[in-house]
Amino acid sequence: MVSPVIETVPIPLTAEQAEAMAQRQIKKHHVAIVLLHWFNATSWLLELATGAGLIVAPAYRFAPVWYLQMMEGMFGSRANMLRFHLAVGLTWITVFLVYAIFGFRNYLHTEVLQHEVALDHDDLSWLRVRTLHLLGRSDELLPPQGAYNAGQKLFALLVYVSIPVIMLTGLIMAFHWFGTAIVAWAMVIHFLAVGMVVSGLMIHVYMGAVFPEEKPAFYSMITGMVDELYAYRYHFKWWREVKAQELLWKKQLTEDEERQHGSAENADSGAAESAPGSRALQKPEE
C-alpha cells in the first residue's frame, strides 16, 4: 500500500488489499539479532538443564531424583557438569559483551530502548484490554502497537534487568569474588533472577512457538522478515514508521534522480557548446 498519505489508524482492508499486503515482506530483525537470539535461547536451554541438575541439596532441589541421576550419568560427575555450566555461562557473557560493545548505538542506546521497550499510553491500555479479552470480559479493539506489543515489552524489560544480575552473580560464584557471604547471597539472587526470567519465558516460548496468531513473529526470528498484513494488523504503529521511512526514501530517490537528470542535461548542453566543432552540428541560424 504505497500512497503518499499514510493512515493514522488501521482501516478495514478489502480482500485484494489484504492479499497484496500478505505477499509483501518487510524487514523486522537484523541478522545479528536473529543469531544473537538463537545463541541466547540455546545457551539458556543448556544452562537451565545443567543448572537444575546442579541443585541437589534436598531443601532446595526442584528437579526429580531421576533427572539428577540422568544428568550426572551424562556428564560422568557433578564436577564435570559444573565445568560445562561455567563454560557455557562464560561464553554467553563474552558474546553479550561483544554485542554490547559493537551494537550499543544500534540496540542498547537509551533512544532505541525508549522507542522499542519502554511502555507508552497505548501499551498500558493494550495490557488492560488484552487481560479483559483473556477473561472474556470485553470485545474492545486492541490499541495499535509498535514493533513489539506491550506483553513482549514487559518480557524484554524483565530480561534486560535480569540478565546483568544473572551474569554478575554467576561470575561472583564462579570466581569466588568478594568473600563467602557475598558468594552465598549471589547463589540466592542468581536463582531468583533465573526463576523470574523462566516464568516469563514460559509465556514467551508459548506465544513465539505455539500461538497461531504469532506464527509470522516466529518466522521473523528466522528470516528477519514479516509480511505487511501481519505488521498492519498487530503492529500498526511500527508499520506506519516503516511506510513513512519508505516514502522518505522514495522522495529522496526522486529528488536525487531529478538533480542528476538536471545536471546531466546542463553538462550536455555545456559540452555541446564548448565541444570542438559543436557549432557545426547545430542547426544553422535562420
Binding site for ligand HEM (CB under 6 A): 28, 37, 40-41, 44, 148, 152, 155-156, 159, 197, 201, 204-205, 208-209, 217-218, 220-221
Based on its alpha-carbon atoms, the radius of gyration of the chain, rounded to whole angstroms, reads 28
Residue 117's CB is within 10 A of a number of other CB atoms, namely 18
- Helical axes 150-175 vs 121-134, angle rounded to 10°: 100
Least distance to ligand HEM, CB of residue 177, Å: 24
Least distance to ligand HEM, CB of residue 11, Å: 23
**Residue 72 contacts by C-beta under 8 Å, 6 or more apart in sequence?**
53, 78, 81
Residue nearest to ligand HEM (CB): 208
Decide if 151 contacts 130 (C-beta within 8 A).
yes
141: nearest Cα among 57, 233, 52: 233
Least distance to ligand HEM, CB of residue 139, Å: 24
Nearer to ligand HEM, 53 or 208 (CB): 208
Q: What spatial distance separates the first Cα and last Cα of the chain, rounded to whole Å?
A: 54
70: nearest Cα among 91, 87, 47, 49: 49
Nearer to ligand HEM, 84 or 230 (CB): 230
Residues 64 and 201: their CA atoms lie apart, in Å, by 21
Least distance to ligand HEM, CB of residue 214, Å: 7
Nearer to ligand HEM, 99 or 155 (CB): 155
Least distance to ligand HEM, CB of residue 235, Å: 8
Least distance to ligand HEM, CB of residue 236, Å: 14
Least distance to ligand HEM, CB of residue 207, Å: 8
Nearer to ligand HEM, 171 or 247 (CB): 171
Nearer to ligand HEM, 6 or 113 (CB): 113
Number of Cα atoms under 13 Å in the Cβ half of residue 178: 12
Nearer to ligand HEM, 53 or 146 (CB): 146
Nearer to ligand HEM, 182 or 205 (CB): 205
Number of Cα atoms under 13 Å in the Cβ half of residue 34: 14
Least distance to ligand HEM, CB of residue 217, Å: 4
CA 3 to chain centre: 28
162: nearest Cα among 137, 192, 207, 185: 192
**Residue 223 contacts by C-beta under 8 Å, 6 or more apart in sequence?**
none
**Residue 170 contacts by C-beta under 8 Å, 6 or more apart in sequence?**
89, 93, 186, 190
Angstrom distances, CA of residue 30 to CA of 34, 35, 147, 244, 246: 7, 9, 13, 19, 17
Nearer to ligand HEM, 81 or 197 (CB): 197
